[in-house]
């Protein structure tokens, strides 16, 4: 079944008169986590079984920026389980019930003893009432670009580390936003974002974020490629 919650967009969640992508994703994850709390299937619940949730892929389609002091409605649901993958869907509606965001995430269950993904246990699957509706047919693979890329270096903060002891998945999106030019950050919004996590980041002090000249392709690296993303932008219409 779908879980639905309304949010008021406070000014402190915004920058340049729009909700930041980082805070948008935090709102989505907070909503899905509330459903998991109801179902007793949170990360904390899995840790008791020496397992944990990890996000493998994201795909977003944002129709327009979300503004300060808007009230939005977030819908989320478990869309199915296939092999190692758990599919979670999101929609955001405005006050007129127009869809302004569609997003999909692929979660994995990781066995902390084996240190690898496993099939989602039946005891977890049975906690969810599946809604067999997907926002996208698939989340495309991202091919590396064989060109010279620009680089920004970021220090990993204590607050970037999550309950699993590695960099929180939302922090990667924050790094992408912080790598943008002032013109892109202020006058455009990210309309489409595909993000695939390859390796977790832990026990590192710095991370390097590489992008092409058009800011449509990103690599996040430590001593290896930890994640890749593709991004498209739309002009903000006042």
pLDDT digits (tens, 9 = 90+) for 36-54: 999 888 888 888 888 889 9
Domain that holds residue 156: 140-238
Residue-wise pLDDT tens digits, 183-192: 999 999 999 9
Least confident interval from 34-48, 132-146, 173-187: 34-48
Please state the rounded mean pLDDT for residues 173-193. Answer: 98
Which CATH number do you get for residue 72?
A: 3.10.129.10
Going by pLDDT thresholds of 50, 70 and 90, the confidence category of residue 7 is very high
For the chain, the domain total comes to: 2
* Percent over 90 (pLDDT), the chain: 81
Instruction: Tell me, yes or no, whether 63 and 171 share the same domain.
Output: no
Q: How buried is residue 95: exposed, middle or buried, by Cβ count under 10 Å (0-12/13-18/19+)?
A: exposed
Dihedral of CA 238/182/151/57: which sign? Answer: negative
Instruction: Tell me, yes or no, whether 101 and 156 share the same domain.
Output: no
Domain's final residue, options 90, 113, 137: 137
Instruction: Tell me, yes or no, whether 133 and 145 share the same domain.
Output: no
Domain's final residue, options 137, 161, 193: 137
Instruction: Tell me, yes or no, whether 168 and 228 share the same domain.
Output: yes
- Indicate the Cα dihedral angle 12, 13, 18, 21, nearest 10°: 150
Domain's final residue, options 73, 102, 137: 137
Least confident interval from 9-13, 193-197, 199-203, 208-212: 199-203
Instruction: Tell me, yes or no, whether 174 and 218 share the same domain.
Output: yes
Instruction: Tell me, yes or no, whether 130 and 171 share the same domain.
Output: no
């Amino acid at each position: 079944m779908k879980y639905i919650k309304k949010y008021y967009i406070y000014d402190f969640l915004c920058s340049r008169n729009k909700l930041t992508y980082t805070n948008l994703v935090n709102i989505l994850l907070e909503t899905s986590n509330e459903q998991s709390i109801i179902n007793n299937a949170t990360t904390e619940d899995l840790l008791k079984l020496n397992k944990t949730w990890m996000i493998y892929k994201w795909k977003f389609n944002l129709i327009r920026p979300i503004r300060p002091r808007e009230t939005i409605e977030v819908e989320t649901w478990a869309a199915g389980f296939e092999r190692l993958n758990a599919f979670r869907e999101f929609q955001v509606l405005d006050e007129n019930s127009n869809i302004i965001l569609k997003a999909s995430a692929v979660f994995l269950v990781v066995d902390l003893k084996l240190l690898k993904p496993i099939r989602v246990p039946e005891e977890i699957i049975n906690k969810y009432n599946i809604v067999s509706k997907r926002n996208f047919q698939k989340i495309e693979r991202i091919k590396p670009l064989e060109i010279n890329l620009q680089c920004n270096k970021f220090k990993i903060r204590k607050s970037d580390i999550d309950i699993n002891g590695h960099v929180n998945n939302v922090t990667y999106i924050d790094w992408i936003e912080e790598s943008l030019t002032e013109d892109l950050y202020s006058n455009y919004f990210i309309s489409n974002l595909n993000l695939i996590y390859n390796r977790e980041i832990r026990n590192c002090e710095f991370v390097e974020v590489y992008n092409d000249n058009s800011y449509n392709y990103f690599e996040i690296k430590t001593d290896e490629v930890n994640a890749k993303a593709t991004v498209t932008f739309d002009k903000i219409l006042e």
